[in-house]
Structures are given as C-alpha cells and as structure tokens.
Amino acid sequence: MSEITVNKNDGLKRFVSLIDRYFAAGGSQMQFNIVSKKTLLEAQKDPEKYSNLLVRVAGYSAYFTQLSKEVQQDIIERTEEKL
C-alpha cells in the first residue's frame, strides 16, 4: 500500500514468517486483530469517535463499538502476542 509510510518491514516480515511457521507445522487457519488494548479501551470510552473501528470477532469482522460489552471484553482480554 503506497500510502502507508513504512520505514522498515521487519515486523511485517516476522509476521509473515510466523504464518509460514504455523502452516508448515500443520496449522490450518489464522485470523488477526492488530490493535492495541489502549485503542480498544479508548473506543469503549468514546464510541462516537471510534464508530468505524473494525475488529475481528471470530470468522468475521464487526464494528467494535456496536458489539455487546461481553464480546468487547473478550476481544480486549485476548492475549496480545509479541512478535
């Protein structure tokens, strides 16, 4: 995406390697949330401002601020892995 200013792609390459590694080991499917806990907590506080924020729930994406509190919590609590 030419509009994204990317200084280096190391993180992105590590991310692709992780997918390759999972698939080479016999994994079938992966889906991701790439969002900080801070953003999600801010979105809970100010739903107007974050009304367009999409997140992955399960096999689909949805607008975070329209989700029930329980599902929002579920996504907030998911382990934030470090690459």
Q: Does 6 bind other proteins (CB under 8 A)?
A: yes
Instruction: Mention every residue, 6+ apart, whose C-beta is less than 8 A from residue 63.
Output: 51, 52, 53, 54, 55
Site for other proteins in 34-53 (CB under 8 A): 34-36, 38-39, 42, 50, 52-53
User: Comparing C-alpha atoms, which of 63, 9, 59, 6 is closest to residue 40?
Assistant: 63
Q: Give min distance, CB of 48 to other proteins, in A.
A: 14
State the residues that interact with other proteins by CB under 8 A. 1, 3-16, 18-23, 25-36, 38-39, 42, 50, 52-63, 66-71, 73-75, 77-83
